[in-house]
Amino acid sequence: LLLMAEGGAFVGKRDTPFAAQRDLLLMAEGDAFVGKFTSNLDRIAYSLMCARRGGLAPYYSLDGSAWCADWGQLAGKSDYGVFKC
């Protein structure tokens, strides 16, 4: 499996976790967040962003869900139903 990366370069499966980590860290560098809180990656990025800022960052949720910190609990609510935080 080959994936297209920035600049048209191809990366293999082994590079995928590093690309995800890079994306996560870049997402956390922003001043505000636009994403889905039903996504674990997005929730981690928002958590890192808030830690970097020393407080909550402004956000817009694309799936209508609010921030939820009840990890592993069926407590999150979105436009698509209930999800595990």
Which carries the bigger pLDDT value, residue 84 or residue 49? 49
Q: For residue 28, give the nearest of 49, 50, 44 by alpha carbon.
A: 49
pLDDT given for residue 84 in this prediction: 75
pTM over 0.75: no
- Locate tokens 């293999």: which residue? 12
Gap between the Cα atoms of 74 and 67, Å rounded: 13
pLDDT at 3 over 60: no
pLDDT tens by residue, 57-83: 999 989 888 777 776 777 777 777 777
